[in-house]
A and B are shown apart, each in its own frame.
Chain A
Amino acid sequence: MGKPKVSSDWLAGCAGCHMSLLDMDERIATVLELADLRSTPITDLKEPDATGVDVGILEGAISNTYNEEVAQKMRQRCKILVALGDCAVFGGVPAMRNFFTIEESLRRAYVETESTDESGKIPDDPELAVPTKVRALQDVVPVDVFVPGCPPDADTIFYVLAELAQGRIPEVKGDKLHWH
């Protein structure tokens, strides 16, 4: 058996969980020794291999139809799906949008912001993804491993990746378990 293939992507999030991943410093070399890092938002390859990967990691919540597609594609192509960070696990900060209607949020974002002049307009290009209610990843596709945290610590991410790379399912508990 070769090195397990790992892919990651980000959805409606802030990229902070990937920053936290990079925060593991030189240990990332250990991860690369153990795993074959395939597509990620910070490498050239942008989609998980059509032939499949062993571990898929998703950061961010599902906030529109494009996020849904990415999540579904990742789910189809990976064996173990990891929800990384509070947005993927719970919906997180983006889910605060659900306390308003989508129309209200769009108007606030594109028309009413303090930096927008009277030309502000809600984008309506048919090619754009359609905003939906913001959901946790598990509400769209089945999730195998939950790693909460805003963001999860680099130590936790290293532990999770190292366990997965060695064919074990990580247990996020004790010091590694926090929701903030």
Chain B
Amino acid sequence: MVTVTIDNKKIEVPEGTTVLRAAQSANIDIPTLCDHPHLTPYGGCRLCLVEIEGARTLQPSCTMPVSNNMVVHTDTQKVQDARKFVLTLIFSERNHFCPYCQVSGGDCELQNSAYGQGMTHWPLSPNFQRYPVDASHPYIIMENNRCILCRRCVRACGELVGNFTLGFEERGASSLLVADTGVALGESSCVSCGTCIQVCPTGALIDRWSAYRGHEEQTDTTQTICVGCSVGCGIDVFTRDNNLVKIDGNWDAAVNEGVICKVGRFEPMVEKCDRVATPLVRKNGALKAATWEEAIAVAADGLKSTKKNSEDIAAVISTRQPVETLSAFKQLFAGKLGSTNVTTLEEGAFTRSFANHAEELGKSFEGKLDALKSADAILAIDTDLIHRHEFLGFVAKRMLPNGTKLLVIDQKDNDLAHLSNKFLKATKGKEEDVLAALSAAIVKLGLAKGKTSIKAGDLDALAAKTGVASVDYLDAAYVIATGEKPVILVEDGITPAALAAFANLIGAGIISVKGSANSLAASQLKLDHNLDLKSSKAVFIIAGDDEVSQKFVKHIEKVPFKVVQATYASTLTAMADVVFPSTNWLEQDGHYVNFEGRVQEARRAITPAEDMMSAGETLGALATKLGFSLDNSWEKELHQRVASVELN
């Protein structure tokens, strides 16, 4: 610890702390622009200049580490003059005319800084040089005229997302924010995560959707989680008069620490399909609008009259629904109606083998996200981290420049492969064969940390089974087995026992990325069977706002009586006998269990239309109509089975 005096306040901070962070820890406000708490200090804007006794000139507090007995003044006349001068220079460089900028009026850190310094005008007039505007991207406009060259976006793109799309070309006043090697942003390697917009202190990066729809102070903010996939990123949902304005990553969320992908940020902004507005009941062959009472009565009668055997009623629910709903669903159909055919749209595909393995072991065996965040070697096996569970891909990618090694194994092409230290495309054999061959290579190199019955001499024979050369296995073995803290990421399809044996060999943690938002919760409730409709006479489907595959629609076509609850009209609702409308994920509350067992609460951000019900409410009404009562025992149920990853 070192002692530093800032504005006559004695502060103790760990060595290496910057003057800025030390001041912030003591609630001393130093204005900044290029600084961002989640990015490495850059020292580009010079707004945070402070006076340090003994120093010849003013020093940028964001990059200056404290030293013992340092005496700092943050608000002397000299410092104030310097801040005004810095702002004066920034305003003179490009087009900072406020009235037509979407962030003017509260959301602009540059404007707020000027207000903070009491600037009523610009001492230097702008030089009116024109810079390009790039509007080629579907979600983002890059407005170089408003850029202050703070490079937050560049740092966020690299340090947080690991994408390194954004960068600068030219020097000084000609500096230009560009994508890749100067291509249009819309045709670049950009993955549309929008983190650059979230960190931009000015209006230089424009979110096409939210621009001019309301400033942050005019909007209501709901802290909730994204249910786009099993990661469960924390998000801030901004609404104005019950309309969605924008979604940001929540900087305080333990899972994603502010970063989200396009699934969470941009895709919810556009409702691509028509909403189901009222309950519908099939009369004389056509779906007709009905009241909730009518529709529930028809559904209840249909279910009651079909139920003779336990296979007569099939029930399928989306894993995007909260645990409360999954639990109510299971209670009603498996419990009260005694059906043996109650499952999810995923049918346990991403969780079943791991859940069974945990039960055999009698304990959880998977690692947590933190293990991935600190891994020095990553093996991604048959896992697409570029198009699914994108945040995990960001974590993997952003660690590569720090020396983390990446091995990708896949039977198909994998878009993470070009970033990997080694890619094995195993076109033949099973994943287990690949792991066996890799184990042999590890033994051969003498890198094994655990025991295995596989011998170095087996390598050639095992490799041949998979269509990959032995030498490639040796390369791969070196990549993954030299790590101190390796992590294996899997999606599905691997025998957990084989995987666990391999993980043991190299001392690795295993993380299964699973499927949708509540895959793990559904697994805990044992909603993970394969759907068997051979003898089904009725099927009850809660799709909610999930997308349902055409294969599934075809699969259920022949069932005589079909009840569907869905947010959006689709071929599925078109063939149903009873259709219930449904809230979407932003319109309902509930809990979700992410891929690493974290139980998180999703909060309602938008009030649904008056005559709208969530799936949970509908199940309650249906149960009442059938003469049953459902309890709220989801928390207990979650823990009735040992999970593949510890729940918390």
Q: Chain A: residues with CB nearer than 8 A to chain B?
A: 83, 86, 89-93, 95-96, 98-99, 133, 135-136, 138-139, 143, 146-148, 150, 172-173, 177-180
Contacts and interface: CB of A to CB of B under 8 A. Distances in A.
A177 B121 CA distance: 10
Interface residues of B, number: 19
B44 interface: no
B97 A91 contact: yes
A94 B95 CA distance: 13
A150 B115 CA distance: 15
B111 interface: yes
Interface in B104-145: 104-105, 111, 114-115, 118, 120-122, 125-126, 128, 130
21 contacts: A83-B121, A86-B98, A89-B120, A89-B121, A90-B121, A91-B126, A92-B99, A95-B126, A96-B95, A99-B128, A99-B130, A135-B125, A138-B121, A148-B120, A172-B120, A177-B118, A178-B115, A179-B104, A180-B98, A180-B101, A180-B111
Contacts, number: 61
B97 A86 contact: yes
B97 A90 contact: yes
B552 interface: no
A148 B121 contact: yes
Contacts of A178: 105, 115
Contacts of A173: 118, 120
Contacts of A172: 120
Contact of B125 (A99, A139, A177, A179): A139
A143 to B, nearest CB: 8
A85 to B, nearest CB: 10
Contacts of A95: 97, 126, 128
A135 B98 CA distance: 16
A99 B133 CA distance: 13
Describe A's contact surface by its main secondary structure: mixed
Interface of B is mostly: loop
B98 A136 contact: no
B92 to A, nearest CB: 11
Contacts of A146: 120-121
A180 B115 CA distance: 12
A86 B97 CA distance: 9
A86 B120 CA distance: 10
A147 B122 contact: no
A14 B379 CA distance: 63
A92 B121 contact: no
A14 to B, nearest CB: 11
Nearest to A134: B128
Nearest to B129: A99
Interface in B58-103: 95, 97-101
Contacts of A98: 126, 128
Given A138-B121, A148-B121, A177-B120, A93 B98 contact: no
A110 to B, nearest CB: 22
A135 to B, nearest CB: 7
Of residues B95, B101, B111, B125, which shows the largest number of chain A Cβ atoms within 10 Å of its Cβ?
A: B125
A143 B122 CA distance: 12
A180 B105 contact: yes
A177 B116 CA distance: 10
A150 B100 CA distance: 10
Nearest to B127: A98
Contacts of A139: 125
A93 B100 CA distance: 8
